[in-house]
Amino acid sequence: MNGSYAPAEREAHGGAGDAAMAVSETSQAVLSVAGVTKAIGNRKIVDGLTFDIYRGEVVGLLGPNGAGKTTTIRMIVGLIEMTSGDVFVQGHSIKKDFVNAIRYIGGIIENPEFYPYMSGYDNLRQYQRMAEGVSIGRIMEVVKLVGLQDAIHKKVRAYSLGMRQRLGIAQALLHSPSILILDEPTNGLDPAGIREMRDYLKKIAKEEGISILVSSHLLSEMELMCSRVVVIQEGKLLTERLIGDHSADNAKEQQVMISLRVNDVGLAQQTAQLHQGIQVLETQPDNGTVTVQLPEEDIPSLIDSLSAARVRVYRVEECKSSLEDEFLKWTGGNRIA
């Protein structure tokens, strides 16, 4: 999948061009998954999946085991045929224009294979020689991007799993792809390795302006690594969310926790209940808190009413639910990991 990347093409797609090019780069999706379906026998493993990825985004493809993540990724990179739909990479159809589409993808779908008795550098050099249009100078650029400078002349057999994974990413980056596609890259890594992987992927997206699609069933991982998640279940798109944006279900509705004197909790609850459109979700008399859900613009009038009732408000905090809370809600309690 790591095809050549001629300088002229790189200029046209890589970002240094004029203002008009910059506008089209930000508005055109780097990757478009357009109604992709994979049927095996009577069963649709992936069912009409549609989503886009834009320049510089780190997007998580999230779903429980068996949701269809690997199948989706294998179709995106052309490893298996899709039953219907299409995938466009920088506007090139993976079905009709495979060679031009695939050259913009760098990917690790299965564990990357390296010669263990050779150094990381020599493995990359071997690869660079075969890849058309990749300069020798690019090797150290990608090595720096994945933080392997100190170990690059050591034999690969001495590398930890995390280092091998990062060497795999370096290899996938050699031909300067527009999008990096990684299937469960943190699988098998220890917590330190996971953290490193996460930090390097974010850095690569930022410094290279590259988009990254990464699959995982680990919610907590995706929350820390991605700017957006595409959630699938049973092959279908369940939801797409910006990380930190849990507002789509209740436009402008907020959950806030109000801190009060312990003695005022009952009065605050009654006062809040008198307001139309405010729902009291929880009272904690021992902690002196009342949690309510209300439209954001009603917060000042609630505070006014509480003051009028001689309830002193010490703090109003937004209650943020984690992606995991949200996911459990979307899937009706189907836990991912």
Ligand X SMILES: Nc1ncnc2c1ncn2[C@@H]1O[C@H](COP(=O)(O)OP(=O)(O)OP(=O)(O)O)[C@@H](O)[C@H]1O
> For binding to ligand X (CB under 6 A), which residues are involved?
40, 45, 63, 65-71, 217
Is residue 176 within 8 Å of 105, Cβ to Cβ?
Answer: no
Whichever of 39 and 118 has its CB closer to ligand X, that residue is 39
The smaller minimum CB distance to ligand X, of residues 53 and 258, is found at 53
**Could you tell me the smallest distance in angstroms from the CB atom of residue 232 to ligand X?**
7
Q: How far is the CB of 235 from ligand X (least distance, A)?
A: 7
- Helix H or strand E segment including 305: helix 299-308
Task: Name the residue nearer to ligand X (CB basis): 112 or 209.
Answer: 112
Nearest approach, Cβ of residue 64 and ligand X (Å) = 7
Cα 336 → chain centroid: 15
* Closest separation in Å from C-beta 178 to ligand X: 24
Given the DSSP bridges, would you call strands 253-260 and 211-216 parallel, antiparallel or unpaired? unpaired
Taking the complex as a whole, how short is the minimal distance between the CB of residue 231 and ligand X, in angstroms?
A: 11
Distance CA 178, CA 5 (A): 10
What DSSP assignment string belongs to 249-289?
SSTTEEEEEEEE-GGGHHHHHHHHHHSTT-EEEEEETTTTE
Identify which of residues 174 and 219 has a Cβ nearer to ligand X in the complex. Answer: 219
- Is-contact 94 102, C-beta < 8 A? yes
Question: Tokens 């091998």 belong to which residue?
Answer: 164
Q: How far is the CB of 61 from ligand X (least distance, A)?
A: 8
End-to-end, the C-alpha distance of the chain in Å comes to 31
Which residue number, 94 or 148, has a Cβ lying nearer to ligand X?
94
Residue pair 223/261 in contact (Cβ under 8 Å)? The answer is no
Judging by beta carbons within 10 Å of its beta carbon (0-12, 13-18, 19+), is residue 88 exposed, middle or buried?
buried
User: Which residue, 239 or 254, is less far from ligand X as judged by CB?
Assistant: 239
DSSP letter assigned to residue 182:
E
Q: Distance between CA 176 and CA 14 in Å, rounded?
A: 9
Using left for φ > 0, alpha for ψ between -120 and 50, and beta otherwise, residue 66 falls in: left
Of residues 79 and 267, the one with the C-beta less far from ligand X? 79
Smallest distance, ligand X to C-beta of residue 219, A = 13
Q: Which is nearer to ligand X, 79 or 118 (CB)?
A: 79
Give the shortest CB-52-to-ligand X separation in angstroms.
20
